[in-house]
Each structure stands twice: as structure tokens, then as C-alpha cells.
Structure 1
């Protein structure tokens, strides 16, 4: 059973939990969630796919769980989606209705209400494991967003491997305030908790004050969230009672890692994954936690590095190459067989599009995307991530993004976009010299540009295509 903690027979036996799911001020027991979600399932049984306007509310949780009980695939839709993106997602996904609430631009689809106080105790058979549970849409950085087909079995395998790596048990309380239309917030935060049987608290907004006000054992955040918490010593110290602080969706800056460890006494857990593969590499709860590294492959996952000519890259911790994975992942992109085939090598490895280094012990360091973070300058291959990490060690630097811009002589020149700390006066020459001394001369920025902020998406990832 995918959401095994919601087995009605267990709850009827007395295994109910009064505060199984908390979203803002709304608290649901397991029996509340089962009853309300089963009522939803009765109204949509037999439908192929439904769209869910994935606002951070208890209604969204009930809608998703109700669809999964009925065996109906869920298409989570970001609440900040514009009309053009909505039209694309609705037409591409084939969603038959909005479940819960609909946006003003509803695309002509009917709305099936989610009644929070309705209850049904009808029993539904567990849907087939190979059936689609979620259709998650990619960010669309290389074209229109693609629908990633994730089966119930894929979700279960991925969550069980994480539970093993993180020693995640029903005794945990997971806290996060992340969006409910991506892997991190929805799959790990909500569905993971319901599979494992742990309590989950969604803070609606991931502010330091709201995180500090909870009494969780496992906290999820993206680097932007952890950066803000690390800048608020009182809130950070309040998390010292936790068991795990988990960061993902983008690299966690080393200075933030070190501040969190100093204030809480807990070195953060970092992990790596994609919509197509879920989480594949992670630091273990009982293992080494190394700043800037995301750990080891999870159970059932193999990794390798390849050069542009297809040859192996040595696992020396320094050499970077294209990261490829082998395991049981997604079922392809909806309606895009050519795009699906292009993500796999002839010998069965998934091409992530990310650049990484692996050391002799098997630890992984993600450098960034091949399309935006692999800079080819003067005959060298430079990972933007390692340059960014070095620059964050310069006093007064708050945030940084490094890109390769066209250059007639070098092919690409390394340019650093720096957000100084409030009131700080950062010398651009000091930034350049620091990188040349910490790394290599050819990895130094040729130009430093100061900006007030970096463009980011909802998950905190910098939109480097907008930097020029």
C-alpha cells in the first residue's frame, strides 16, 4: 500500500494519530484524512487524471490523497502559473477536472469540490503498482514543460530507500513549508510522511520563525530557507532539538552549512534528485556529512561519470563529468517518446544533464547543469558550482551565481554575479584573487557584477538564463 499509514484497518484497530497532518492552523487526524479523502475518491473514481491547484493547504493534501485512494493520477499545478503555462499543462496532461479549487483561468475544466468535513468509509482496492500516481511537470528551461510520469511503485521504492538512509520512522515529525507541486514538498514531505507513518507539519511559509515554533525531528528546506534560518541565530538554535536538517533542490552554500552546524550542533543532510528519478544520492543519517557533497547512492541506484566522448571520468573527487544513473525510475514523459528515449544511453543509463565529481569513497559533489553550469573557457572545463563555493568564502558576499558568457577569445568567460551582505563593501579584485588562490587561476572570474538579488524559481534555484 503506497500510503500505508492510512490503512483504514489499522486506524480502526486504534492506530489513529490525532495530529497526523498539520497545515497552518488545520490539524487532521489519520481518520479525518481517510474519511475526507475517501469521500473525494467516491466523486472521481473512474477518471483518468485530475489537476490540483497545489496551494499550501490541508484541502490540497486531502485532494491528492483522495485521488491516490481512487487510483486517479494527480497533476499538481503551481499556484503562480500564468495563463499560457496553465493552458499547456491542462492540454498536455489530459486532466479531466480541477479537484478542490480552480484558478480564475480554469481552462474550461469543471471543478470537483473537496469537502473537508465530508466522511466516507468505503473501501477501495489498492491500485496496481505500475499505475501512474503523479504527473509532475518540469520547469521548462529547455522548452515547454514536460509531464513526468511517476508510478505508485516508483514513489514507494524511492521513499523506502530514503527511509533507510535517513533512519526515518513513525516516531518522527517532519516539518517543512515547501511547495506542494514538486518532489521535495509533495512527495517527500507529504506522501513520504504518510507512507512512513510519521507526523507532518506544513508551516505554509518556510520562515525561520515558523520553523522555530514547531517541535519537529526532521526539517526539510531548500538553500534559500536554510540561508535565512542561518542568518537568524535565535531561530536556528531552536532547531537544535531536531534529529535531521535536510537540504535539497539546489546546492547548500558551505558557509550556510557551517553556520547551521555551529548554531544547532547538527550537520545538515544534503541529497540529490530529479523529478524523473526522485532522490538517488544522499548523505546518510549515520554517515559522514561533508559540506558541498551530497553523499552516496541510495539502495538500488548505480552512478557513473562520462566525458563528452563517452569515456569514463576517474573518481578522484576533482575530475568532473556528465552524471548518469541506473535504476528503476519514471515511466517517461507524457506523449513524448522521442524526448524520453533521448534521456537514456544505449546501454541503459539515465542521462541527468548534471555535471558531478565522485571521490574514491563514492561521495558525490554536484557541480551543476551541463547546459548552464559547465563553463568551457580557454580550453578548460570549469564547474560553476565550485567557483560559487569559493566566492562565498569572501567576507561580505551574501549570494553569488557564476555563469559563462560568450567571449571571442576564451569561448566563454567566467562572470560572477554577487549580492553583497547588507552594508558590505566587496572589492571585485578581492573576489577574483580569492578564487585564483583557492582553486586555479583559470577558474577565476574575469568579471564581477554586483546585483541586488538573483532571479530564483519557487524552489530557490537561480534562473541563470536571466543573468547576462
Structure 2
């Protein structure tokens, strides 16, 4: 079966609505499936044979065409956050080996060292939705299931982002599992406004529609008003989105016609869950996954949905809980253990990082998620926290504290830095930095970090201290930091 059968397989005109002129809509640009396939085919013809291609992942139809073109050509696609700073962008381009940078808006690419995109030697390739492949172009045969489809970058608690190769097999298995869990079919209209450089917005939110055949409406920005106007049957959002929808009763009420509201990327606060149910008449579906595993656990459309419960493992996925000594933890709904997973969606290892890969898997091959969970006797999973204190979830993003600390320490006025996540009513958590520095303001440091990393990783609050609390080994003790 092709990876994107609703786009490339024969007979797609027989899908609900045929090849409608707005089978795909991103912000104000609508495309039929035929138009998308033509634009993606032009990209594929241009990049065939490249070792990897980066995509400047703006929320545009051109980004979708670029990603699909890479998949058609069998070239690994590296989505690049549009707000990434020069250090992060340069690292991703060099680490992934991307020879080309695809963009629908070359003028939006920042320049550094005289090079568009910030890395000399990487060629910028414009992408247009009206482009078509030359008649003489012959695309390569679709690669095998084990070929890399995407290389996504994830921040750990220390160091630079790590590359996560995702195979075509993993994408197909993950999307088919979710289609089964959510009764997701070509009859649906999927609506979301999520970024197109991570699993939620790109893999689920774009490739999912192209695999199931559902119509896709990407709202550009995930505002309550845009969601209300889209008229979807299936909606994706992060907790921040659902919190804002719940704060707008008129927009929330317009979602009463939707079949399923899905929340992910971070825990949905129970009050938001209850407000969404009250205003829309629908209990949200929560699910759990990681960049390294895609989605592994989810509540089902026909199953139990309750606040904090992320449901059951998807078909083919197995989970278990382990204690600190590695011993099994009972599934009694109360005992906490580290969640470990295995199955067809789990990646094989980090790009060029054998030590990090080895540390992330058990001796018998299960992936250590680093998340703490309980599993109830009926198999329902609840995620209760992070094994480490250094992973911050803010507005649906996963932010490594160590990466932000390193950026702060690059400022000549900063001597020490410790970054934590603090509770925030809208974002879930906000990035907060404790800093030891001289002659610098909060605004100076926030702007400095925003200029080096993705803007969403900047601290929203900074507290200046005379010294950080440290243990005998000199390691900062975040639990001893003074309250804000």
C-alpha cells in the first residue's frame, strides 16, 4: 500500500467529495488533490537523489507540497521550525546532511554569514503550489517500508537537539492505528492550526489526512474563531488551544457538530476537559506519544474518555511500567513506574548518536520514555509526570531546559543559569530562568535567547540571584530554587 494512498493511489476521485477544489486548505490557499500531487511531483523531480532535504515549515500549502514531494521522491524530509535561531538552524541542517532547503517564501528565510538559511553550501529551492513536474520527469519507485520518511529533531534535557529518523513503516502503522482508534475515515473533515514541523501538526495533521482521505483544513493560526468557522468533524489541538476555545463560549458552541475533539502534546488540565465537554457536548480524546515513538497510546472514539486518561495502546504496541531498579510495576492504577514501549512506530535510534540511542533502550529492546505513568487494571494509561525535572511542556512544545541554559550562558554577562517550567494557566508551563549575572536586564536576556533558539524557547520570566543552590558535586539543585 502506498504511504499516501488518498493522494497517489488510483481511484482517489471516488473518495467522498471526489477531487474537490478544497480537499486541502491551508490558511487562505485551497488545493485539490490533483493540484497538490502536481506541485509535489515538481518538488520530487527537482530533489530526486538528494541525501536529505530540509523544509522551512511555515504554515502554508507550499510546505505541504514540499513535504509530500520529499516523500514521493524517497528523500528524507527534515522539517525546520520557521522561528529557529541561527545556532539551532545551522545544527539541524549540518547534522541531518540536508543539501537543499525547500521554502514557499525565500524572503522569509533569515540570513547569517551571508547565506540564506544561515548555512553556506545549502541550496535554497523555491516551492510553488502552481508548479508541475516536466512531462519527461520520471519519479523513482516508492521506497521500501524501512526507508526514512522524516528526520524530526527533539530537544533533550542537555545539549543540542537530536535527530530522530522516522521510517515509512512507522508513519503508516501509527496513522492506521489512529484511524482505527478514532474511526477516522475519508468522510471526515480534519481541522487544526498546529505547526508543521513536529508529529502532531505534520504527521497526524497532514499525512494522516492524506492517508485516510479525509479533507484537511489548516487554519493557519489555531484561534477559537478559526476553529469555529471551519465546520470540521475531527479537530486536533494542544491544551493551550483547548484552553482558549473554552474561554470563548461562542466559538466552543460552534464545535457541537464535531464528531471528535483530540488533545495531545501535553496533559489537558481537568478543568479545561470539563469546560470543553460542557460547551461542546463532547468529551475530548487524549493520547500520548513522543517524537521517538509517534503516538502509542490513545483513548478511543468508542471507549472511555476521562480527564487525565490517555487510553489504551494502539494495535501492535506494547507497554510496561518499570521501577527504579528495572523491576515490573503492577497495573493497579496506583503504582507509578517509568513507561516503556515497543512496537512498529518506535524509532531505531538517534541520528549519529549511538551513545544516546543505547541509553534510551533497555537491554531487551524497549524504549525508555522517561515519563512516569500508572496503568489501571483495564489497561487505561495515565501519565503522571516526567522522570526528569528538565523537560518543559509549554503551549504544546517540548523544551529542553539545558538547551535554554546553554543559550543564556553564551551571554557574556551571565555566570550561572538554571531553567525550569512553572505552571501557567494558558501554556501549561512557562519557561522561567534563574540567572546570576551583572549589568543586564530581563528584556536583554529574553531577546538574546530568542535570537539564538526558537522563539517559543525564550524565558518568559527571569529571576536574578546572587548564586544558584548547588550540591557537593557543584550541580545546581533546582528543587532548592526560591519560589517565584
TM-score range normalised by the length of the shorter chain: 0.7 to 0.9
Partner Cα distance (1:92, 1:418) in 2 = 33
TM-score (norm. length: structure 1): 0.80
Deviation at 1:368, TM superposition (A): 2.0
Q: Write the deviation string for residues 186-244 of structure 1: whole angstroms up to 9, x where unpaired.
A: 00000010011001111110111111111100100000000010111111111010001
* Aligned partners of 2:370 and 2:388 also within 8 Å: yes
Q: Does 1:128 find its partner at 2:144?
A: yes
TM-score (norm. length: structure 2): 0.77
SS at match of 2:389: helix
Partner Cα distance (1:60, 1:420) in 2 = 32
Deviation at 1:462, TM superposition (A): 11
SS at match of 1:216: coil
**Which consecutive unaligned segments of at least 5 residues does structure 2 have?**
112-116, 394-400, 402-419, 427-448, 463-477
1:63 aligned partner: 66
Deviation at 1:123, TM superposition (A): 5.7
* Aligned partners of 1:223 and 1:460 also within 8 Å: no
Which one of the candidate residues 233, 255, 262 is aligned to 2:249? 233
Deviation at 1:463, TM superposition (A): 8.3
Q: Does 1:150 find its partner at 2:166?
A: yes
Deviation at 1:141, TM superposition (A): 3.0
Pick closer, same or farther for the CA change 1:416–1:281 going to 2, 3 Å: closer
Partner Cα distance (1:465, 1:196) in 2 = 43
2:128 aligned partner: 115
Q: Does 1:288 find its partner at 2:300?
A: no
Q: Write the deviation string for residues 53-110 of structure 1: whole angstroms up to 9, x where unpaired.
A: 1010111001101111111111001111111111111111100011124522311211
Partner Cα distance (2:421, 2:47) in 1 = 51
Deviation at 1:10, TM superposition (A): 2.4
Partner Cα distance (1:207, 1:267) in 2 = 20
Deviation at 1:327, TM superposition (A): 1.1
1:397 aligned partner: none
SS at match of 1:91: helix
SS at match of 1:290: coil
SS at match of 1:136: strand
2:86 aligned partner: 83
After TM superposition, the structure 1 stretch with the greater mean CA deviation from structure 2, 336-345 or 175-184, is 336-345
Which one of the candidate residues 265, 279, 284 is aligned to 1:263? 279
Q: Does 1:38 find its partner at 2:44?
A: no
Deviation at 1:418, TM superposition (A): 5.5
Pick closer, same or farther for the CA change 1:307–1:13 going to 2, 3 Å: closer
Pick closer, same or farther for the CA change 1:352–1:54 going to 2, 3 Å: same
Which one of the candidate residues 368, 376, 384 is aligned to 1:351? 368
**Which consecutive unaligned segments of at least 5 residues does structure 1 have?**
375-383, 386-402, 404-414, 422-454
Q: Does 1:166 find its partner at 2:182?
A: yes
Q: Write the deviation string for residues 353-398 of structure 1: whole angstroms up to 9, x where unpaired.
A: 1111111111111012100189xxxxxxxxx99xxxxxxxxxxxxx
Partner Cα distance (1:64, 1:187) in 2 = 10
SS at match of 2:325: coil
Partner Cα distance (2:183, 2:247) in 1 = 29
* Aligned partners of 1:50 and 1:74 also within 8 Å: yes
1:2 aligned partner: 3
Partner Cα distance (2:32, 2:237) in 1 = 24
Deviation at 1:326, TM superposition (A): 1.5
Aligned residues between the structures = 398
SS at match of 2:170: helix
Partner Cα distance (1:196, 1:162) in 2 = 10
Deviation at 1:319, TM superposition (A): 1.3
1:17 aligned partner: 20
